[in-house]
Amino acid sequence: MKVATLLGERFKKAPADCVFDSQALMVRGGYIKSVGTGLFSFFMPAKRIAKKIENIIREEMDRIDGQEVMFPVVMPGSLWQESGRYNSIGSELLRFKDRNGIDMVLGMTHEEAAVQLARDAAKSYTQYPFMIYQIQTKFRDEPRSRGGLIRTREFTMKDAYSFHTSQEDLEQYYAKAYHAYDRIFARAGVPQVVAVKSDSGMMGGRISHEFMLLTDIGEDTIVICPECGYRSNSEAADCIVHNEEYPIEPLEEVYTPDQKTIEDVCNYLHKSPLQSCKAVLYQRNMDDSLVIVFLRGDLEVNETKLRNLLCAEVHAATVTPEMGICPGFIGPKGLPEGITVVYDESLKTLNSFVAGANKENYHYKGMNMARDLGEVKYDSVAKATAGGICPVCGKHSITISRGIEVGNIFQLGTKYTESMNMQYLDSDNTLKYPIMGCYGIGVGRLIASVCEVSHDDYGPIWPITIAPWQVQICALRIADENVRRVADKLYEDLKKAGVEVIYDDRNISAGVMFSDADLLGVPLRIVVSPKTLERNAIEFAARDKSFKADLSPDNVVGEVKAKIAEMIAALTPED
RNA sequence: CGGGAUGUAGCGCAGCCCGGUAGCGCGCUUCGUUCGGGACGAAGAGGCCGCAAGUUCGAAUCUUGUCAUCCCGACCA
């Protein structure tokens, strides 16, 4: 390929609305072009990167006995009716009608299609376990796509579905998939991607992990214990806090005029927020019924956990006079009947604290849950905080990071096989539902993630395993006959040797040529110029500046191939 | 869905308040000089000023509506 005819303008400056480095560089470098909100076309370099990532994924899926298949992008709504998701999923599932007025959907994930494909084909236990996967376009009508390829509405995704006859077998396979994912991210040049425990959300099932690229621009909050390696998405993380032993005091109602926030009340009463109880109000989406969460004053509610606990969607409450509560002065004692109350575990060992008195301008101090409220049930609904206690090793070591989710794995269970009536005949001659796992990786998001962690001010630095090309030839002063002859020959020789090479033979200034090369991010660069040819040499350098050397034009091909092999080997895991 | 902003050449923007020939920089074309980190000169090409109504002799500019895009939040396997 020659740069001269490579489509995609490379810009000196990024469009004004780019928010992430990866986004700016991929637009500037002529990789992607926005077509509409969350919709992108890929120019050749991006498409080549995607293809290489897909091939790595393909190899690793095949390595754990995956069978590559393909499901349709468009599916009849009736298929999604079977699993119940046609109605349970909101407007991110794009629904439309075909010419016959039949309800159709655009696939945002393919559990239904996978079960539909497999259910008639795997009737005997002897055919299990198996895994099927595809690499294909998905569409999710995201309420807010952003950040270039980080969050798009249409995207390419590898999705895999495994089917098992026992939980143990699923767990074994799950571990294999976990390992395959580690290999994929290592080979793609982002060993920074780590698995974290996650909430399984609408997918159903219990155990799941997300593979996160840890970066400040990430949209997810990750709870990490550097001491023991515990890692969890904040949505799924346990919040364990330590409470001081405070002197037991009698329960006392105190006048606290206009002291409505935790901060105000605590200042007013000279107490720490650690010694107070906060009320957070929600309403169930279904019927707007009120839910009050009580937790220690310094903590925040983990709404994912609250939803899971209540088995209901909730939203922040709008307080009306009919509710019979006093915002700013809400406490556990003396609430009206009929309100759902959730006590966070942080209150369990808090032996003396400040709380609202459910009376305008009054709080209690010296409150003690057991003494003043009797036996109540405690649930874990608080967000983990930095410095909190690690649920695994018990040290005060929790740190909070941000991450981009580039992949995930779920132990689904029988949610889909039951709802869609997929059964096999077991060895004991009884019909059973297979147990499923599912495993996803977003290809475009992975491209952006690699770019995010592997770039400099001038452009991306693609790992050799996914780079659009392995080597770029920059011919300076192409009008010089010697340069033309040597560079042309190098290009032909490298192509013949099977090296992926892109050749810039434009008659332009060195600055422009190098800047364009930096934006293309090709890991190895050969510069042919009159200057080096004078000493019968060409220059061979790495995009990441790790080396730069003169080579004799005669043994370039061998040297380049050796370097490529070395760089690929460095990214290939041992097992 | 709430809040904020922006739509003028491929990209970045000015012009709008105060209505009257559509402009600038980059990029693109041609010629010449220069050229190992975004060179210089000269001459060119390129625009239903997001769309639609309205006001007006006349609208990029004023009014109304509408669509699109971006940011923050809500939401999100």
Task: Please say if the pLDDT value at position A341 is more than 60.
Answer: yes
| pLDDT per residue as tens digits for the range A320-333 | 777 888 888 899 99
A380: amino acid identity, one letter: S
Task: Please say if the pLDDT value at position A202 is more than 70.
Answer: no
Confidence class for position A201, pLDDT limits 50, 70, 90? low
| pLDDT per residue as tens digits for the range A92-129 | 999 999 999 999 999 999 999 999 999 999 999 999 99
Task: Of A176-185, A194-203, A228-237, give the lowest mean pLDDT range.
Answer: A194-203
Task: Please say if the pLDDT value at position A199 is more than 80.
Answer: no
pLDDT of residue A316: 80
Interatomic separation, CA of residue A532 and C1' of nucleotide B64, rounded (Å) = 68
Interatomic separation, CA of residue A184 and C1' of nucleotide B32, rounded (Å) = 54
- As ranges, strand B nucleotides with an atom below 7 A of a protein CB are 1, 10-13, 26-27, 34-39, 68-77
Task: Please say if the pLDDT value at position A487 is more than 60.
Answer: yes
Residues carrying CATH 3.40.50.800, chain A = 469-570
Tokens 């609904």 locate to A381
Whether the Cβ atoms of residue A539 and residue A479 lie closer than 8 Å to each other: no
Task: Please say if the pLDDT value at position A32 is more than 90.
Answer: yes
Task: Please say if the pLDDT value at position A205 is more than 80.
Answer: no
Q: Which residue is nearest to nucleotide B69 (CA to C1')?
A: A37
Secondary structure in 3-state letters for A438-500: EEEEEHHHHHHHHHHHCEECCEECCCCCCCCCCEEEEECCCCCHHHHHHHHHHHHHHHHCCCC
| pLDDT per residue as tens digits for the range A437-467 | 999 999 999 999 999 999 999 999 999 999 9
pLDDT of residue A112: 97
Interatomic separation, CA of residue A217 and C1' of nucleotide B4, rounded (Å) = 22
What is the CATH topology of the domain spanning A252-379?
A: YbaK protein (3.90.960)
Interatomic separation, CA of residue A52 and C1' of nucleotide B64, rounded (Å) = 53
What is the CATH topology of the domain spanning A469-570?
A: Rossmann fold (3.40.50)
Closest nucleotide to the alpha carbon of A474, via C1': B36
Residues carrying CATH 3.30.930.10, chain A = 16-225+400-452
Question: Domain spanning A16-225+400-452 has what CATH number?
Answer: 3.30.930.10
Closest nucleotide to the alpha carbon of A145, via C1': B76
User: Among A376, A327, A325, A370, which residue's Cα sits nearest to residue A352?
Assistant: A370
Closest nucleotide to the alpha carbon of A408, via C1': B77
pLDDT of residue A200: 66
Across the strands, what pairs with A96?
A104
Closest nucleotide to the alpha carbon of A157, via C1': B77
Interatomic separation, CA of residue A16 and C1' of nucleotide B15, rounded (Å) = 20
pLDDT of residue A283: 85
Residues carrying CATH 3.90.960.10, chain A = 252-379
What element of type H or E holds A380?
none
Whether the Cβ atoms of residue A240 and residue A447 lie closer than 8 Å to each other: no
Residues 6+ apart with CB under 8 A from A561: A497, A499
Closest nucleotide to the alpha carbon of A204, via C1': B77
